[in-house]
Amino acid sequence: MKTYIKVIDGAQAGDPFILPATLPHPDFPDRSIGVKHLDDDHLFDLFNLVPVIDVPEPDQEWDNVVDSGIELVVENNGSELSDITATQVYNTAPISLAEAQAKVMAKVKSRRDAIADDGDFEWSLEGVTYRLQGTSSSVAQMERSRDLLNEMIARGIAAEEAKQPWRTWDNGWTPPLTPDQINDMAYTKGLQGISCWQRYAALEQEIAAAADLAAVMAIDITTGWPELPANPGAGE
């Protein structure tokens, strides 16, 4: 929906507004006239209305919008619509060092959790490498399954029956796994998590030590994390 301002004698008169279905008749103020069918030239001629050029808000990654307004440029006394340009403008100011640090740390935490908690990982068994779902393969889940299988064996259930398959990335399954195999799988996921937390700790220190906004912006938070398995089909 378009925004308009009223311009009288080359100056803005009133606040910007969205064009309603009707406006007071220019010759009979006690009556209304439908305006949805009118083009911008007719709206200007009848009501002195000028459409505002809508400009998207600036990217606020490193800046805050301090205020906004309408920039009015009038030529030839503004006698015709083509002589007037109204543009939405925004005034910005750099965010503070503390805001920048908090913003970058939030991205680092998100990356940490995406890998340590939810990241897929690869684990090999008897020459076959399986890609396992991170979302259903927490170390705690694997340790519980391992302990339960060991408890089953301790209570007299045959070792061949005390096995559990594990979910793969494509919603398939590994072969049934022994407690020791699940333990090894948990160890592999645990190494991924440790590497992830080490990178997180290093970035946290680097971000906290940044002396100004430029230093924060220069920190590379995308590299140094444990590698995740490539997405099958990527680049095809």
Provide the token pair at 194. 């440790």
| The pLDDT of residue 147 is above 70 | yes
Tell me the CA distances in angstroms from 71 to 14, 20, 143, 197, one per residue in order. 14, 23, 64, 49
The 10s digit of each residue's pLDDT in 44-58 is 999 999 999 998 888
Query: Residue 232: which pLDDT band, with cuts at 50, 70 and 90?
Result: low
To which H or E segment does residue 210 belong?
none
One-letter amino acid of 148: L
The 10s digit of each residue's pLDDT in 24-74 is 998 998 999 999 999 999 999 999 999 999 988 888 899 999 999 999 999
Map out the domains of the chain as residue ranges: 3-94, 97-217
- Which residues, including other chains, have CB under 8 Å from residue 191's CB and lie 6 or more apart? none
Q: What is the dihedral of CA 104, 105, 106, 111, to 10 degrees?
A: 100
Reported in sequence order, the residue ranges of the chain that DSSP labels E, i.e. its strands, are 3-8, 11-18, 22-24, 32-34, 49-53, 63-74, 84-94, 121-125, 128-132
Residue pointed to by tokens 């913003």: 103
